[in-house]
Chains A and B, each alone.
Chain A
Amino acid sequence: MEFDRAALENIQAAQNPDGGWPYRRGGSWTEPTVYALLAHQAARQKAPRSGAALAWLGAAQQPDGGCAPRPSVDQSTWVTALAALLPPETIGAQRHARITEWLLRQSGQESSLIFRLGALLRDGKLPAGPDQTGWPWFPGTAAWVTPTCLGILALKKCYWRRPSTQLRERIDQAQAFLLSRRCADGGWNHGSVRALGYDVGSYPETTGQALLALAGLYPVKLERSIALAQRFLREQRSSGGAAWLRLGLLAHQQTPAAAPLFPMPCRTVPDTALTLLAEAAEQGYNVFLG
């Protein structure tokens, strides 16, 4: 497989002495560390000092099983779904199982019974329930598109390894949540379709993420979403956004069509890694779906 070796070397050069990766420079964070490892997986290469990287990730795991975004944060957050994307054999089966259990325990606060009853009393209408449940960025808050997409992708991998009704139901609920948050233009933003009665527009990166997380969902019609993703890709100004769009389109067997209008430098480790992951997907290996 042809691969952008220089980009992979750039990622390798950014690795911190503690084994983790920074976003650009400075301390290590869970998100860039996971994406750096996934980029190596896509290149079918072992990351240099991968043992140190995995040890760093291990230290990010909290007593509740989830992962913190930074060593200075003692709270499990949305980055737990990212860690769950890594193969269990790399981070350890037991550790991976605890990560997955944490994910299964989390849901958007708006789907809780207490919140729904409160909304019923206030608005006279019962909001959507557990059949449309996504994941929050931070525990105790509402579900949003990006953490829900990452949660779906992580649980799908678990399901393919070991199918279970619990995993299937949670994936279905999260996909239903995504479909309920599709904007009028056919795409997705962070997760707010309307504000005070006004339609809110979509974002490229979240549209790509949602398409990726909805891969294989039939017979849902996503033609408008796909057409919008193609347009976004042409007008894109962020390499990270472009990578998610490419990954999302490829998940629906769509070839990214036109060349982008603007130059898009990769300014962070996740941007570089995601661009490599999109490149690998174009060559037939989508690490999110494989």
Chain B
Amino acid sequence: MTRRDFLIGSLAPAAALGLAGCRQAAAPRSRARVQVTRAAGYGQDIYDTMRRVLASHQLNVRGRRVVLKPNLVEFEPGSVINTHPMVVHAALEAFRELGATVAIAEGPGHRRGTLDLADAAGYFQTIPGFEDIFTDLNLDEVSRVRLARPVSQLRSLYLPHTVLAGDLLVSMPKMKTHHWAGATLSMKNLFGIVPGGVYGWPKNVLHWAGIPQSIADLHSLFPNHFAIVDGIVGMEGNGPIQGRPKAAGVLVSGDDAVAVDATCCRIMQIEPSRIQYLTLAGGLDGISEKNIEQIGEKPDSVATPFELIMELRDLRREKA
């Protein structure tokens, strides 16, 4: 064990604890719990909606460090590429009301000027003091983390301290189709924690190691991260950049990322068992409907078929 690896030992337990230490005392659950909440638009009522979402999950984050990780991709104000800033602001306020210290952090995969990107996406305008609570994960201090049982060819990854030292990582992706992975949701959003300052833009080590396999490996490092998927207006077609807006009118949340993403797929009418990273990370059991306790809306009641490009048409799920 090297001195650098030893440093990880002081940081990783906090991240590994994840939600286990943040959930209020309750009987152990055998089934993953996923909430689907209707949210018609990005209006002021999103703040109340977010409070209700967190309350229903009975999160105990008082005194904890919560890291909100949105998905910032491109400089296109008004487009649906990025997680909407009001969703992130609503989560920030709601977690603060629960007594947490909240940071926002992201490391975009293609573009260098993360703060400029956040500015163009409306984050500065929407979130007071944004610059003071934001960390560019591409340029954060890093330590090497070894993968215990890698699925990909990766054996270790340098990861940012802001994420490693947080008590609860909250993945806040946009609900989008993805031309390589099928769908980009809370697990694929973890690509943004891999530092570009080390690996570059794009984070090509993840591609060479296998995209689905790398997603599964990142998930294994943060198995209990909390997920809030912005599906109010998502993206269909040639996502995650060139697609078209698609209103699904929902927020999907939960502490089991595999179950949350499988539920999102069902809403998008994508067959989750055909998304390789979901089966790699959760197996068929992890994505099975019988193993997911749905609270709030039933996925089928809000199902909205996201258009798929020709190459991904075999991912289409027939509505139950």
**A contacts, CB < 8 Å to B:** 23-24, 26-27, 29, 31, 69-70, 72-75, 77-78, 109, 136-138, 140-142, 144, 146-147, 189-190, 195-198, 200, 203, 205, 237-241, 264, 267-268, 271
20 A/B residue pairs, CB under 8 Å, sorted by A: A23-B136, A29-B139, A72-B4, A72-B141, A72-B142, A73-B142, A77-B200, A138-B198, A138-B200, A141-B208, A142-B208, A190-B201, A196-B180, A197-B311, A200-B242, A203-B111, A237-B75, A238-B75, A264-B116, A267-B115
Chain B residues with CB below 8 A from A268, complex form: 115, 139
Residue of B at shortest CB range from A244? B112
Docked Cα-Cα span, A4 to B115, in Å, equals 23
Are the C-beta atoms of A72 and B311 separated by less than 8 Å?
no
Docked Cα-Cα span, A185 to B139, in Å, equals 30
Docked Cα-Cα span, A136 to B204, in Å, equals 9
Chain A residues with CB below 8 A from B136, complex form: 23-24
Residue of A at shortest CB range from B153? A140
Docked Cα-Cα span, A241 to B111, in Å, equals 10
11 more A-B residue pairs beyond the given contacts A142-B207, A205-B113, A239-B116, with a C-beta to C-beta distance below 8 A: A69-B197, A69-B198, A70-B197, A72-B142, A109-B208, A137-B200, A189-B110, A198-B242, A200-B242, A267-B115, A267-B116
Chain A residues with CB below 8 A from B238, complex form: 196, 198
Q: Give min CB distance, B272 to chain A, whole Å.
A: 21
Chain A residues with CB below 8 A from B200, complex form: 77-78, 136-138, 141, 144, 146-147
Chain B residues with CB below 8 A from A31, complex form: 197
Q: Give min CB distance, A278 to chain B, whole Å.
A: 15
Are the C-beta atoms of B158 and A73 separated by less than 8 Å?
yes
Are the C-beta atoms of B141 and A70 separated by less than 8 Å?
yes
Q: Give min CB distance, B142 to chain A, whole Å.
A: 6
Chain A residues with CB below 8 A from B201, complex form: 137, 144, 146, 190
Docked Cα-Cα span, A271 to B205, in Å, equals 26
Are the C-beta atoms of A203 and B198 separated by less than 8 Å?
no
Are the C-beta atoms of B112 and A240 separated by less than 8 Å?
yes
Docked Cα-Cα span, A43 to B289, in Å, equals 64
Docked Cα-Cα span, A196 to B119, in Å, equals 30
Chain B residues with CB below 8 A from A138, complex form: 198-200, 204-205
